[in-house]
Every structure is written in C-alpha cells, then in structure tokens.
Structure 1
C-alpha cells in the first residue's frame, strides 16, 4: 500500500508540474517545441479551439488508439497521467485565462517552460510512466516498425517548431528552437540526478565494524574481498557497497570516526540495478 501511494503521489505531482509549466509558460508565449502541446499552440492560432482543449482531444484520441493497439497493460500509468494532464490544462484555462505572458521576460519564461515539463517528464520516465501524447505514437511505431523512434519524434518536433517560425514571429520561433535543443538534455540531467547514488570501495584491515554499520544501521549489504597491499605486502580487505546520497554521508562519517586508517574511493553512479535499487 505504501509503495502504491508513493507511486500515485509521484504520478500526480509530476503531471501537475508539467501542466503548470505548459499552460503558464509554454502556451502563454506560443512556444511550439514538444509534441502534442507544441502542435496545440499552432492549432490554437486558428482561433477555432484553445491549446488546452486541443491537447485534451488529441490525448484522448491517442489514448483510445493506444488502448486498442497496445492493450490494457500500457494504459495503467500512461492513461492516468494523460487524462490528468489534459484535464488540468483545461481547468487552468478556465480558472486562470491568459491573454498574454505572465511577465515581459521571455528568456525567463522559456526557462520555466523547459524546466517544469522536463522535471515532470523525468520523474515519470524514472518510474516507467509517460504523459501520453507522442509517446503513444512512439510505442505503436516500436511495435510495428523498426524505425528509430527517437529520431522520428525529433523530426516531428523539428517540423512543428519550424512551422512556429511562420505562424508566429521569428523571435518566438528561435526561442522554440532553443527550447527544443535544451529540453532533451535537461530531461536526461534530471533523470541522472534523481538516480544518483554513491559507489564505495573501502580498503581496510578490519571490515567487521564497517560491515555491521552498513547492515544494522543503513540496512544495506556489502561484498568483502581479501586483497594484499602492493607496498606493504599486508593482507587487506576491500568492501564494496552502493548507497543513496544520505546513506553515503552517514557511512563516510562513520568510517572517518571509527576507521581513520581506511582508504576510501567514492564514485557517483546513476545506473545501479539490483535489489534495493532498480530492477532489470
């Protein structure tokens, strides 16, 4: 139950963060980068439908198509996030209608238009979910073709962004190109930051106290290897363990106080697969 509540909170929080960034900063400034919401900005220019309503309709259509083609399993997390994103955008449009950007600082607004949806997307990707939209198209393409999906989606985003240069002014188009370029790097950066852990190599003469602390206080495990010092020729032990950032600080402080002669190698890693971290 605790795990399900945590997953539900992350899905909800990240999707709402995305919606805030898209509505208040992306739609308001006519930035056209980024899949369905980018296309929605172009369609809204016709005056026949708002960007929020177009996003809602497009996501529901894609969701229905995905449900038919990809089956029920696909729809669990993606359906919830896609519906929540669409509904939130429509609600925001009716509660806080915007006829112009919040500020007269387009660079600052572009930063928020990139950062907030990127953070939300990173959290969703990190827990195996997505907000729907063009991600559903990508899933369908992956099932039936050998197309490089990443390149296909990038080309689609590029075409939509180019169209923005003609529909709006060149300045808005250039901002959109900048957003398109930065967005993918920022998502990758957020994912790495979310997954960042510490990998320890501890060389010592007596591993018991350190291992007991790792097991009893940090509730982690470790691997011990018997080694030999190249300079002294004495027997040594190497303790291998992986910890999150908070646990890493605790272990480092414990070793500093209780085994000051130990030699530590601490590395950053964002790819740890196994029990207690990420499953394969």
Structure 2
C-alpha cells in the first residue's frame, strides 16, 4: 500500500493558493483599471457588480461579494460541495483586488495619480480610449481567469446558474454561460442607455474567453482524451452528467497483464479538460491518460456540418 505523502499534498495546496492569489490580482486589476471605468463588462458577476456600483456607489469588489455569496450558497445546496474552499478563496481574492486597484485607492499614491493625469486628462484609467481599455482589460481578465482555473480555482459567479440550467432544464453549460452573460451585457446597455456598451461587452466576452482558453492549455481549443482506468463507469458517468459530453468505450486488453479493460475516449474543450483531469485524479490516481490535439470536431457540441 502506497504511503500517503502529506508534505507533497501541502506543497500542492500552497502552489494552488499562490496561483489563485496571482490570477485573482490580475482579474481585479483588469476590472478596476480598464473595464469598470468605461462600463465594459464581459457578463458574469463582474457585470452585475458594475450595475450596483454605478447605481449605489457600493465598491465594485463589495458588489461582487453581494452577488457571489448567495450564488455560492445556492450552488452548494443545489449542486453539492463541488464549490469548495478554493472557490471561496478565489471569490474573496478577486473582490479584494478589484477594490484594492480601484481609482479611489490608487490615487492615494501621488506618483500613480500624477502618472494617470500625464497619459490622459481625466486620470481614472491607463487610457482614454475605450477600444484600448476593452482590449487590454479583456486580455488581462482572460489571463487572470486562466491562471485561477489552472490552479484548480473557480471565480464562482455564473458558473453556478449555468450548472443549474443544465440540471433543471437540460441546457448545456456552454449555452447556459452564453445566455446568462448575454442577458447581463444587454442589461448593462439598457440601464446606462448606451448601445455601444452592449457591443463592447460582447467583444470583451469573446476576447477574455479566448485568452482564458489559451492560458489553460494553449492551441488548439479541442482535445481528444483516451482514458485507461480501473473505474471506467464512474468516469464515464461524470463525462455524461457533469460535462454534458458523450464518450466512446473501446474494449482492450493489457499487453503486459493480459486483462480485459474498457478504454474511454472523449472529445472536449479546454475548460472541460481541466475539470476532467481533476476528476480522474480523484477517482483513480493510477489511471493512464493520453491527451491529443484535435484539429477539427464536427457534430453535437462542436461545429455543425
């Protein structure tokens, strides 16, 4: 029996903690210095927090907590303990850094205030162009979220209602994200009576999503995964129920052991790959996994013919 290595588990947890901290700081910086000043929001709780911030002047980070806490509780009650400690940490860090990098806090430091006024005439952002703010903010947000996901964290937010839509209405998680984020982006444009904000919101959503995928696994965005495990049924059920993907089961034989075995094959996107690897590691740490790049995938859940 393999001895449990507590020290390696602690080291991994610390690495995840530092990674989540760093990624959350980048997310907070992106929101406060580029996206919020121009009312650009790529959906999600970040978008909802902007509405509350501009209507009530409650700091954006606190606004994120106001929306995230009930969503987190609903997620735990409805979906189980899938949103654990690291999700709470991620939510708190993103909220904290969003307020830390806010204009009100940054201008406490004279040299930053002077720098901002040197590069533009109003001082609350690093640029006075909404195009540059959307581009820079969305790229940074994507990088930050990608780092958080890579270190097994989650920013909470619309992850939870998207999963609830899947559970109760059979809507895929990807479609759920798109629906929820679209409603939030349109709401921001309507509340602020500015149709341009809607367009910039969708541009930001597209850029941040793509950058997140690149940070997670690089190109291309679709992967084929072979899984050889002693617990194929558990992993197969996770793929079908939690990832909303189909999978193929091949009958194989171990070349060395001579034992009959089931080999799973599934085609998934990058975000799903991270979740699948975490689940495989929990269910069967001794499993053998092969991950290949997929040039193109056609059919349900991917491109249509």
- State how far apart, in whole Å, the 2-side matches of 1:69 and 1:152 are: 16
* Contact 2:143-2:212 within 8 A present in 1 as well: yes
SS in 1 for 2:201: helix
SS in 2 for 1:46: helix
- State how far apart, in whole Å, the 2-side matches of 1:10 and 1:279 are: 25
* Unaligned 5+ runs, structure 2: 1-9, 108-121, 222-269, 278-284, 292-305
Partner of 2:77 in structure 1?
A: 68
1:85-164 equivalences under 5 Å are 85-93=94-102, 95-96=105-106, 100-164=124-188
Partner of 1:245 in structure 2?
A: none
SS in 2 for 1:150: helix
- State how far apart, in whole Å, the 2-side matches of 1:194 and 1:181 are: 16
Partner of 2:67 in structure 1?
A: 58
* Contact 1:81-1:130 within 8 A present in 2 as well: yes
SS in 2 for 1:74: coil
* Contact 2:43-2:205 within 8 A present in 1 as well: yes
Distance 1:181 1:64, change over 3 A: same
Which region of structure 1 is more displaced relative to structure 2, 81-90 or 42-51? 42-51
Deviation, 1:58, is: 0.8
* Contact 1:59-1:83 within 8 A present in 2 as well: no
Partner of 2:91 in structure 1?
A: 82
Match of 2:197 among 151, 169, 172: 172
- State how far apart, in whole Å, the 2-side matches of 1:151 and 1:87 are: 30
Give the number of aligned pairs: 207
* Unaligned 5+ runs, structure 1: 197-269
* Contact 1:62-1:136 within 8 A present in 2 as well: yes
* Contact 2:135-2:207 within 8 A present in 1 as well: no
- State how far apart, in whole Å, the 2-side matches of 1:279 and 1:43 are: 46
SS in 1 for 2:218: helix
- State how far apart, in whole Å, the 1-side matches of 2:290 and 2:161 are: 26
Structure 2 length normalisation: TM-score? 0.58
Partner of 1:190 in structure 2?
A: 215
SS in 2 for 1:45: helix
- State how far apart, in whole Å, the 1-side matches of 2:205 and 2:43 are: 7
Deviation, 1:275, is: 7.8
CA RMSD of aligned residues (A): 3.3
C-alpha offsets along residues 18-58 of structure 1, whole Å, 9 cap, x if unaligned?
A: 11111111111110222111122223332353433221211
Partner of 1:2 in structure 2?
A: 11
1:49 has 2:58 as partner: yes
Partner of 1:34 in structure 2?
A: 43
Structure 1 length normalisation: TM-score? 0.63
Deviation, 1:114, is: 0.5
C-alpha offsets along residues 53-91 of structure 1, whole Å, 9 cap, x if unaligned?
A: 221211122222223333445212111101221222234
- State how far apart, in whole Å, the 2-side matches of 1:7 and 1:193 are: 20
SS in 1 for 2:101: helix
SS in 2 for 1:147: coil
- State how far apart, in whole Å, the 2-side matches of 1:178 and 1:279 are: 34
